Amino acid sequence: MAKKEETPNMVQQFAEFKELKNIDKTTMISVLEESFRNVLAKMFGTDENLDVILNPDKGDVQIFQNLKVVPDGEVENPNLQISLSDARADDDPEAEVGEEHSREIIFEKFGRRAILNLRQTLQSRILDLQKEAIYSKFKELEGELVTGEVYQTWSRETLLLDDEKNELLLPKSESIPGDFFRKGETVRAVVANVDNKNNNPKITVSRTSNEFLRRLFELEVPEIHEGLINIRAVARKPGERAKIAVESYDDRIDPVGACVGVKGSRIHGIVRELRNENIDVINYTSNPALFIERALAPAHISTIRLDEENKKAEVFLRPEEVSLAIGRNGLNINLATKLTGYEIDVYRDTDMYYEDDIFLDDFRDEIEGWIIDTFKDSGYLTAKSVLSTPRETLLEKVDLEENTIDDVLAVLKKEYEDEPEAGDAPEADAATDGDEA
């Protein structure tokens, strides 16, 4: 009786595997049939004339061998043929030569070796199926956030286990400087790469990729998760500083304010997760000059020259602003370059501008914001960068009506009305000389 229970038990074990690993019923039946056929093919030389009928829900397995009926004494291959007398004796009294006779094979009768062979074949196929399922699952999760528990830490990598005990490898190169993990600690990362060499899935996760920062913002800021705010670009040096450009699809939502949260409530959790990485959140704009200006904050740009075709920008700043634009070890300008996609060169603007220059943004109480943005789009960011440009050049470069440009010039000149303009100084001197004469 024990032997007769072996095969049904294996079917039940596979059903348990199905439940744990979410293997669908169709795949389960296919794997079972394949395993039986592999073993039977080795035993009978072929499985082409075998019918394997499975009912995994009940644990039933039936095997039928289809044999051609031949005259007595002419059986050449007992695995393909059966004699007429044997067919009639095998519960088929009306069998005739040339017909097909089906007889049931009781697998348990082949002994424990056959049972063991089937079990090993089945387990091997299940293992392969499990690996394929793991690979497919995590391949679809590349770039997505996952959580794992620290199982073991080595000098070059940390092994994490997710809720289903799948192994996730976090290399030292993908860890944030300052990361230190203890066994049993929960760690978040993104799936960076999934490899399946020799049908052995290797899942590599990362905490240094830009996607990790992006996913953390999606997790902490509901408006991003709901699609009301979009993350347009991310640049970071893990553990030190990051810049993220966001835009809102709803004019009523301030994207920067939503990402930072009240008193920094939303961004503080992200900063802690990133080992106190300093994060600059800026408003995205399709205006490249304005985008570069925002990306270089906290530095204030005097003027900018763009080569949009070659993605290059020449940025001019007052001497005291240059170090802010470059940042410590060039970090600020490097992040701005990655964020905007422009190669940025910084120059000291000592010849054209003066210490009392005023940024156009400071005139928003007197000049409408869209007009100021139009000037900035043309590369004019300060009052004196506008005033030092001939009126005809402004009319040609700035996409505004003539009277609008004149109104702006009037507002800017009024700010400096106590200072003689460079072009007026000689006439004033000449007039004085004439009076003295």
Two tokens at 21?
């690993």
pLDDT-based confidence at residue 57 (cuts at 50, 70, 90)? low
Judge whether 281 and 244 are in contact, CB under 8 Å.
yes
Q: Does 89 score more than 60 pLDDT?
A: yes
CA atoms within 13 A on the CB side of 8: 10
Of 54-63, 87-96, 128-137, 338-347, least confident by mean pLDDT is 54-63
**CB-based contact 63:109 (threshold 8 Å):** no
| Mean pLDDT confidence for 386-397 | 87
User: Per-residue pLDDT tens for 319-357?
Assistant: 888 999 999 999 999 999 999 999 999 988 765 545 577
In the chain, DSSP finds a helix count (H) and a strand count (E) of: 16, 15
Of the candidates 404, 341, 410, 332, the one whose C-alpha atom is nearest the C-alpha of residue 372 is 404
What residue type is 180 in one-letter code? Answer: F
pLDDT recorded at residue 23: 61
Helix (H) / strand (E) containing 120 = helix 112-140
pLDDT of 5 reads 42
**Token couple for 42:** 């080795």
219 CB-side CA count, 13 A: 18
Structural tokens at position 223: 């408006």
Distance CA 32, CA 11 (A): 8
pLDDT in tens, 11-42: 555 555 555 455 666 777 787 788 888 888 88
The CA distance from 64 to 51, in Å, is: 5
pLDDT the model gives residue 351: 52
CB 415 within 8 A of CB 358: yes
What is the pLDDT at residue 105?
A: 84
What's the pLDDT at 194? Answer: 96
Q: What is the pLDDT of residues 270-284, one digit of tens each?
A: 999 999 999 999 999
Encode 64-94: b = buried (16+ Cβ within 10 Å), e = exposed: ebebbbbeeeebeeeebbbbbebbbeeebee
Q: Give pLDDT, residue 354.
A: 53
Contacts (Cβ under 8 Å, ≥6 apart) of 364? 372
Neighbouring residues of 255: CB distance < 8 A, sequence distance ≥ 6? 223, 229, 246, 247, 248, 281, 283, 284
240-249 pLDDT per residue, tens: 999 999 999 8
In whole angstroms, give the CA distance from residue 131 to residue 81: 41
| Angstrom distance (rounded) from CA 53 to CA 116 | 20
- Taking a C-beta distance cutoff of 8 angstroms, is the pair 118, 35 a contact? yes
Rounded to 10 deg, the angle between the 112-140 and 25-44 helix axes is 140
Q: How far apart are CA 271 and CA 239, in angstroms?
A: 9
DSSP-assigned states of every residue in 34-54: HHHHHHHHHHHS--TTEEEEE
Percent of the chain topping pLDDT 70: 87
